Amino acid sequence: MPHLPPRPVRRVRLAAAALAVCLASPVLGQVAPAAASSDRGGADPARRAAALVARMTPEEKAGQLLNTAPAIPRLGVPAYQWWNEALHGVVGDPQATNYPEPIGLAAAFDAPLVGRIGAAIADELRAVRGRKVAAGRVHEIGAGLDVWAPNINIFRDPRWGRGQETYGEDPFLTARMGVAYVTGLQGPHADAPRAIATPKHFAVHSGPEPTRHRANVEVSLHDLRDTYLPAFRAAIVEGKAGSVMCAYNAINGQPACANNFLLRQTLRGAWGFAGYVVSDCDAVVDIYQGHKYAADAAKGVAAAVHAGVDNECNVAGLFDSASFGESHRYVDALRGGDLPAADVDRALTRLFAVRLRLGELDRGDASAASPSAPLSGAGAVAPSVARSVATPEHHALAARAAEESVVLLKNDGVLPLAPRAGASHRLRVAVIGPLADARQVLRGNYTSRETSELPSVFDGLRQAMPNAELTLVPAGASATDGDPVPTSALQTEDGTPGVTVRYYPVLPATLPTPHSIGEAMQQFFQRSVADTPSVTRVEPRLSGDAFGAQAVLPQGGRAVASGYLVPNASGTYRLGVAGAATTLTFDGKALVSTPPGLSFGGLPTFGTVRLEASRRYAFTVASLAPGGQPAGLVWQRVSPDPAAALAAAAKDADVVVAVVGITSSLEGEEGSQNLEGFKGGDRTTLDLPADQRRLLETAEALAKPLVVVNMSGSAINLDWAKQHANAVVQAWYPGEAGGPAVGRVLSGAVNPAGRLPVTFYRDVSQLPAFEDYAMNGVKGRTYRYFAGTPVYPFGFGLSYTTFAYGPVRVTPVGRSTSDGLVVRTDVRNTGARAGDEVAQLYLTFPDVPGVPRIALRGFERVHLAPGERRALVFRLTPRDLSSVSPDGNVRVAGGRYRVSVGGGQPGAGVTSVSAPFAVTTAATLPN
């Protein structure tokens, strides 16, 4: 298949005289100060932005190209932080509503629900923004109104650690979920958006994590337009997303953030994108350091801006608003002739047009340069909005999303849990597994939600089954251990809930000025700290969370936390810290310590202690951190003999519920963990951790009904559970309400209807090499091209009731079927319980080159009472009917098709009905 040839970077050299004229011109030269708001009223934002940019000096312009944008007081431009995250909840507040990880939202197969979540996130985003601006914390993550979400990369391989952030492996499902999130977040008015969505990572980005800064992905034009680009096209063309983030890796020899085919030909050209492009964090640096695509920094930033990058995320800016002089690269590129002035002005005009549309620049003229100036106009935060974080309505939405995300994969009748007929006692349930009483696992990644007090799955079962006898059985030590110690178990020296933290700032540096974040980190651990604290205060807990936390020591320093640990239950505990350069002293003895350095994605370091309930144990946690945040204090209650504990608890139990899986600390972004089954944030096997496999085998040998609840952000090999357990449930990382949601599903209060948004394979032998991005190679990728037998297929999920479908009727919308179709059928609840059904429409294509084996082209989640019938109508556009030719043309191919509608893929063991139709007139569609 043909590959896309890389295009050379266009480098424009300016003569010295021409450059002098350019720097002195109104476009780049300094002019008389003027307020940013002088051109208001109904003026076009782009025209207002261009006029503002024309007043800036080269140095001022360079600073505005970075995510941490400084204020320009003479022009009335306030500082701004472009970096914000809201993947499934706002990161700027630890109490912000935490929805299920996107892979779980995808499992709900409910696009309107994702739209409502996007709108709720926008409410909280604006409230958090208002609080941070009012406090003068304008350079913190979360202080802006644009968010770097959704992640609509295709989850092509279950080994990728960040697949949990996506909507799964299918381009159509991902497109519908992405459009729903974008439109929900941005609101109905493109000229006055409530916030700006940023689909990422554009494009062809899905691991491996350890090589992402230097990897080159070879991909055919067919696979680009068939698999990797459709969701982005939908988010831009249909959803009208205001921003796009380019990826780290290179595609066909050209870095994604300097890729002319992606950014110029496709995004700006074919799709008509008019918003701004932001780089993934330090992806512009990768152009010249990782990929060696550009000879030096000036040429690297020039390549990015010329290709279409408007804003560079540079991590250094989070540690120093001066960004360690990183903006000088743009000035050097301008003066050296690598970067045309027009390219810079074009990028800045896009950025300031966005800020104007958000209302972020519409402040009073006298206060516009003040970071704490109150917002006005479209950017204002009304009192009702300011109180919109974690509202009852948002909590209810999170609960509904968690319930809808749960997938029932097997059930021989043991679920829902109920006393056996004729039983003389209450139902007795032994709840086992390292995640049974875990909380951190609920929240997933890219969220700052405080989890230590959230209800676990065990808590959820107790809430849903108050009349049952539930026994929690601690497991042995596991790689998933590490919940934050809750406030309820912490006391200060005077008995106040929480811990006393003393913050010691670093002393002024005597070392050379660092020019990169790497140099800054190396120097930081050589610097001294003050002898006396600058701040002493009581913190509710030590969460160790970088997202959303206010840095008491913005330039870093030492944080020393002290107090008492007061457990509510006696037992053996793993107690430790999450963070670098940290020492935990416990009960008068040094328990653990960690070396200095960055610990992004690292696992906690533990010691093992025996604790007695209600006893006070003195401790200190001393940590040296660049951001000034205390390290996290974590724990896990474990059993020294888990097999014996399980046998004792299961002896009188009617059923055993095992809660197993992995966490976002094991699979995630560019992690440092390298242990069995995991490497650098990715996975090397699809199996559960070895201790959990042994636990399940021990439980099965007890000859009691066994329910397995798996929590993960990716496909796990559940073949053993499918063969040996009585019921299998996939619960993902279900968010703040995940514990009660699982409890309500197992108890029968909720009838599950989630469907798998990814294929669950048996092992990695069924997969191509991780680095291979080809979809239809020797071993096809995802359900659309995979020819093997999975453990559970894409789209699969069961219910406590049954459904039946009526005949399928296919009607063309125009003179030819290639103009589109209307597909009609009906679905009826044939069981005794009310429940949701996810009706899925699949197409099989004519036998022509380039088509997938089968493809999802429609879905609808409907609720039906027993006996209720509902008409289903699917309207398929020509693009829905299309496939991609081997040479990359999007077309509606002529020939015979089949449309199937049912509760899953046809032939996957679920009810499905189908009908043939033919396309007699082929058609070619725009790319």
Residue type, 362: D
CA distance 838 to 833: 16
Partners of 835 in beta bridges: 864
Residue type, 605: T
Pair of tokens at residue 449: 């939600």
Planar angle of CA 94, 100, 106, nearest 5 degrees: 150
Residue type, 172: F
Q: Is the peptide bond before 203 cis (omega within 30 degrees of 0)?
A: yes
Helix ranges (H only) for 238-313 are 283-288, 297-307
State the Cα torsion 685-687-693-696 to the nearest 10°.
180
Q: Which of 101, 404, 667, 826 is catalytic?
A: 667
Q: Which of 85, 280, 837, 880 is catalytic?
A: 280
The label of the residue with tokens 């809201």 reads 86
User: 880-884 long-range contacts, Cβ below 8 Å, gap at least 24?
Assistant: 880/172, 880/820, 880/843, 881/817, 881/818, 881/820, 881/821, 881/843, 881/857, 881/919, 882/925, 883/226, 883/845, 883/848, 883/850, 883/851, 883/852, 883/855, 884/222, 884/225, 884/226, 884/850
Helix ranges (H only) for 96-165 are 102-107, 111-134
Say how many C-beta atoms besides its own lie within 10 A of residue 402's C-beta. Answer: 32
Identify the CA nearest to 876 among candidates 927, 828, 811: 811
Identify the CA nearest to 91 among candidates 102, 79, 81, 83: 83
CA distance 75 to 369: 8
Active site (annotated) includes residue 280:
yes
Given a contact cutoff of 8 angstroms between Cβ atoms, the answer to whether 4 and 261 are in contact is: yes
Pair of tokens at residue 551: 């840095």
Pair of tokens at residue 9: 């970077």
Burial 610-649 (b: 16+ CB within 10 A, else e): ebeeeeebebebbbbbbbbbbbbbbbbbbbeebeebbbeb
Burial of 134 (0-12, 13-18, 19+ CB in 10 A): middle
* Residue 402 DSSP symbol: H
Identify the CA nearest to 746 among candidates 439, 427, 499, 271: 427
Active site (annotated) includes residue 667:
yes
CA distance 819 to 798: 35
Given a contact cutoff of 8 angstroms between Cβ atoms, the answer to whether 597 and 554 are in contact is: no
Given a contact cutoff of 8 angstroms between Cβ atoms, the answer to whether 840 and 795 are in contact is: yes
Q: Which residues are catalytic?
A: 280, 667
